[in-house]
Amino acid sequence: MGQSAPGDPVQRLEFGASLTSQGVLFRVWAPRAKELSVCISSPEAAILRMERGADGCFTAFARGLDPGAEYMYQFEDGRRRPDPVSRCQPRGVHEASQVVDPLAFGWTDGDWRGLPLQDLIIYEIHTGTFSSEGTFAGIVERIPYLRELGITAVEIMPVASFAGGRNWGYDGVALYAPHTCYGGPAGFKRMVDACHRAGLAVILDVVYNHLGPEGNYLAEYGPYFTDRYRGAWGQAINFDGAGSDPVRRFFIENALYWLTEYHVDALRLDAIHEIFDFGAVHVLREMADAFHRQARLLGREAWLIAESDLNDPRVINPPAIGGHGLDAQWHDDFHHALHTLLTGDHNGYFMDFGRIGDLAKALTQGFVYDGGRSEYRGRRHGAPSTGNSGRQFVVFNQNHDQIANADAGRRLSQLASLAQQKLAAAILWCAPALPMLFMGEEFGASTPFNYFTSFTERALAEAVSEGRRREYEPFFTDRAFPDPQAAQTFVGSRIDWAEPARTPHRELLAFNRRLIELRKSTPCLANSRKDLTQVSFGEEPRWMIVRRGDLSGLDALLLCNLSEKSLTLTVGEQSGRLALALYTGEETFGPTPSVMPPATIEKTGASVELASFTAALYLPATGKGTADDDR
């Protein structure tokens, strides 16, 4: 697959259906096929025999064919399969692919250059349940709401075409084709374009560690999978075995495709710990090099963000010191540390957490498990990340996985009190990292977020339902297990947009808006300087004081009471007068506790009384600090 020229808005795909002035060139890598033909089903039926090259690539040219034409590849035994590099699957993953003109869409974001990494305030969205329409257009309608909230980037869960109409997206099989039920290629482009007009970056979640179980025909074309490694989803993708060079290229070019043809600003790479590559140059490093090079050619800032269970700083370290060169990664340890303190949950991997010291370490150093023994894993885990910038970590109190899997579909609003939710939000927005919300979290959405599918193959659907029931039924001790295949499991996971106008959702929404505003306007909160962050804490009773600094020497203080009783905290050394900027117990944001902190802190050693599960944010009374370089 070829790269674009500087400023070229289209990724010139080497494979797939490529439009020319004379017709359409079809090209597919299929070393396992002896013969292939292109079967064109519309506008008129035709079959073109393809020419096989020595490298296993088949080509054919259809003169006079236009965009919208539908086609499949036919093997020597009569099997007909979609194009592995299909840009569109209008009738599902088992049916014909469609020729798409990548230049047909009229972009209006010519002046958009992306956002600096440290400016990302992320909002994770599942397209199908974010709106009643369940489409990209439904997201566009909520852009003014997101802007008012203070969001700077939307992260869209995977959109690659999958079997059926309901899915999280991690069962995608047509990795170049935005799902038709969501709005297809044109709908996704309209959404990205609208976001950019509003100043919002777009992060797309992509899955390069496995493909879905239904409609996955790649193995019939070539050695895309290997038995050398087994991942959580079965056979691993062949990134380092015989015939792996074109496989690597298939996934790397997919990343460039979303960056170039769809103008996305970042990719979130799903579960990179399930990508097995023991070659001299890891596929992630090769991908990062190509992705960043293409972003420079396009004159844009663009980022790669990993989901990783490895606690390995090599994922985000630069190649110069042996790293893969990804820009950031999700910070699960932050979530686990705060979640256990609020909920008392110690099931599964939560058994490794539960101390204030864990949360303090997540804030100031990064990985909590950086070489120490993990009881959950029964071994030592991780390596130190103290030298990595806070902007390389995405922190969150909730995400799709943690709600649906670890918490049996229940959001934090079902697991914690309103006071605890506000306390958690204060810690999130004051963390020296990139903050992320899961859709509806900002107003304490009461709707669950469950795992759902709509596989069309009956045996597979039954196996998935039974497998999920056995795996997660222990989490559903007080209610029936929601069948992933049931339509109601999907419908019940939709956001209820009437809630933000009602108490207590209205107050929690106002609270999050205020915190985001303070974060964006206060340099010592907006920076990601872990090295200028200090945390003092106590385990019994549970309290924490977070001091955020910048190069001006001015500090912000977040005082947190994580216990069930009122506490008096003593402030350490002070360089100046501090004023109370926000208290989680303010009447504006819900029920008011009897204990109120002082309006100012005048001196070192001052005492501040806090009600249970509250936090008070103090900012410099003489100014908000000055911008500084991020580290």
Task: Look at the alpha carbons of 480, 169, 313, 365 in this order and tell me if their dihedral is positive or negative.
Answer: negative
Q: Return the SS3 of 211.
A: coil
State the number of CA atoms in the 13 A half-sphere of 552 facing the CB: 18
User: Is there a domain that residue 540 lies in?
Assistant: yes
21 CB-contact burial (10 Å; exposed 0-12 / middle 13-18 / buried 19+)? exposed
Same domain, 482 and 436: no
pLDDT at 371: 98
User: Is there a domain that residue 372 lies in?
Assistant: yes
Q: How far is CA 335 from the centre of its chain?
A: 14
Same domain, 457 and 581: no
User: Is there a domain that residue 629 lies in?
Assistant: no
Residue bearing tokens 């495709």: 257
Domain containing 543 equals 523-620
pLDDT at 574: 78
User: Is there a domain that residue 165 lies in?
Assistant: yes
User: Is there a domain that residue 109 lies in?
Assistant: no
Dihedral pair phi/psi, residue 75, rounded to 5°: -85, 170
User: Is there a domain that residue 538 lies in?
Assistant: yes
User: Is there a domain that residue 105 lies in?
Assistant: no
Same domain, 411 and 267: yes
Same domain, 242 and 273: yes
Same domain, 271 and 145: yes
Same domain, 84 and 141: no
Rounded to whole angstroms, the Cα distance separating 5 from 298 reads: 9
90 CB-contact burial (10 Å; exposed 0-12 / middle 13-18 / buried 19+)? middle
Distances from the Cα of 357 to the Cα of 22, 360, 535, 543, angstroms: 66, 5, 9, 10
Same domain, 368 and 259: yes
- What is the CATH number for 541? 2.60.40.1180
Q: Which of 67, 98, 129 is the last residue of a domain?
A: 98
Active site residues: 270, 307
Same domain, 418 and 470: no
- What is the CATH number for 139? 3.20.20.80
Same domain, 76 and 193: no
Q: How far is CA 365 from the centre of its chain?
A: 22
Q: Which of 98, 127, 158 is the last residue of a domain?
A: 98
Query: b/e for 175-205, b at 16 or more Cβ within 10 A?
Result: bbbbbbbbbbbebbbbbbbbbbeeebbbbbb
Domain count, the chain: 4
User: Is there a domain that residue 514 lies in?
Assistant: no
Q: Which of 98, 127, 161 is the last residue of a domain?
A: 98
Same domain, 127 and 245: yes
- What is the CATH number for 77? 2.60.40.10
Same domain, 175 and 43: no
Angle at 383 between CA 316 and CA 376, to 5 degrees: 115
Alpha-helical segments (H) within 164-266 = 184-197, 218-221, 244-261
> Across-strand partners of 71?
40, 97
Length of the chain: 631
Is it true that the peptide bond before 504 is cis, omega within 30 degrees of 0?
A: yes
State the number of CA atoms in the 13 A half-sphere of 23 facing the CB: 9
Same domain, 317 and 242: yes
| Pairing status of strand 303-306 against strand 266-269 | parallel
**In order along the chain (631 residues), what is the average pLDDT of each group of 10 residues?**
47 90 97 97 93 96 96 98 98 98 96 98 98 98 98 98 96 98 98 98 98 97 96 92 97 98 98 97 98 97 98 98 98 98 93 97 98 97 98 98 89 96 98 98 97 92 80 68 91 98 97 98 95 97 96 91 96 87 94 89 90 96 55 50
pLDDT at 3: 47
